[in-house]
Amino acid sequence: MNANLLQPRALQGVRVLELPGTLGAYAGKLFADMGADVVLVEPPGGAATRHALPLVAGADEARGDASLTFAYLNTSKRSITLDLDSPEGQEAFRRLAQKANLVLESERPGTMQFRGLDYASLAPLAPSLAYTSITPFGQSGPYAKYESEDIVLLALGGLLSLAGFSDTAPTRVWGDQAVLAASQFAAAGAMAAVLHAEACGQGQLVDVAAQQCVVMGLENAVQFADLEGTVRKRAGGAVRFAGTGIFPCEDGEVFVMAAGVGDPRFWQNTVAWLRDEGVTEVDEIADERWRDFRFLATDPAKVVFKRIFAPFAATKTLKYLYHEGQRRGVPIAPMSSPSDLVNNDQLNSHGYFVPLDHPQAPAGAVMPGAPYLLSATPAISRRAPHAGEHTQSVLAEAGFSDSEIVALRQEEVV
């Protein structure tokens, strides 16, 4: 066995019951990779999230193990199958909940209450249980029972108004950011509730509304209104100041912010760099007016800087521009593609990417690991479970008799 798997874990001993769903999967993953025993309670036949795109090329989708999304979001978890719409499955869940510290669920409001498995129903049986419900709009209010998707949450949370070009409709950012925001806030709230229960023995309901999580991430829109008296609009790559923008280079693109944020030294450093590189026109951007942000915001200033900097950048490699700019104190960064990230020296030296343990994935495939490093209790990353893979062991650990397990496993898809 890998010796690393024998080390103590930060959340070792914490027991979590998770119902599969897009809004809560990453929250469960955060708990599982930190060592909590996260049991994914799937319906007979497996969770619908097992078929989320993208799929492993050539994989047998019917088995429910072909989704790369599922493989990433469910690492280190165990899986059981229970029919929570049957009396037997509901009773089994109640018994499991009495031995758990936390329930994570993202069912539509009212669903768990109908099953008799909501917080109010379980609290008398498990007074110290932390129960986290993650929904689009929360457990109450006029939108509570509305269904939603990531783009709707981004729109109703306000973030979509900032994404895209000013002369087109808003553009959703990639990667279900509203969903991930909800999961991250849910994980934080759930952990606080678990710690509270550990301290005083009192469980509670954590009601997470994804819309509210998006509102928390409106970048610096609030600061613009407060400090400048302006309402942020979609900029879509528009250059706000001279010295700022994306410039092609020999083997890619870089983002430059020579004007900095209210600090003239960045501009001075940029001028000195261009002068040392032999750029003859540099004197055109060296006088005092180039330290005035009102001038830098004018179109003539933007045109002049682009005329001078663009030809210089085009003759240099991305790596050279980045490292030389960093050495000279010029805010500059590479525009990384997915392949650039996988091959990034910093990410790889920090051990960010870990092997993708998937029976049908190509050899050498990797995925992002934990976004943190704990020296004494490192994260783990076991493969995502097959549907119902751990039904037998989880139920036995919870005190179910052999006959009870046999009866419940009649529903399990092998």
Given pLDDT bands bounded at 50, 70 and 90, which one contains residue 321? very high
More confident residue, 157 or 6: 157
Distances (CA, A) of 2 to 6, 33, 255, 347, 382: 7, 16, 42, 23, 11
SS3 374: coil
The model's pLDDT over 185-208, given as tens digits with 9 standing for 90+, comes to 999 999 999 999 999 999 999 999
Tokens 């870990």 belong to: 354
Distance CA(242)–CA(257), nearest Å, equals 9
Percentage of residues of the chain with pLDDT beyond 70: 95
Residue 78 token pair = 């165990």
Reply yes or no on whether the pLDDT at 211 is more than 50: yes
The model's pLDDT over 381-396, given as tens digits with 9 standing for 90+, comes to 899 999 999 999 999 9
Given pLDDT bands bounded at 50, 70 and 90, which one contains residue 309? very high
Cβ–Cβ under 8 Å, residues 33 and 378? no
Question: What's the confidence (pLDDT) of residue 78?
Answer: 98
Distance CA(193)–CA(216), nearest Å, equals 20
CA angle, residues 279, 285, 286, in degrees to nearest 5: 95
Q: What is the pTM of this model?
A: 0.90
Reply yes or no on whether the pLDDT at 1 is more than 50: no
More confident residue, 165 or 183: 183
Reply yes or no on whether the pLDDT at 5 is more than 70: no
Query: What does the pLDDT average to over 105-131?
Result: 97
Distance CA(63)–CA(221), nearest Å, equals 46
Distance CA(193)–CA(206), nearest Å, equals 7
Question: What's the confidence (pLDDT) of residue 261?
Answer: 67
Domains of the chain, first to last: 3-217+350-411 (3.40.50.10540), 244-336 (3.30.1540)
Buried b or exposed e, range 207-233, using 16+ CB within 10 angstroms: bbbbbbbbeeebeebeeeeeeeeeebe
Query: What does the pLDDT average to over 317-322?
Result: 95
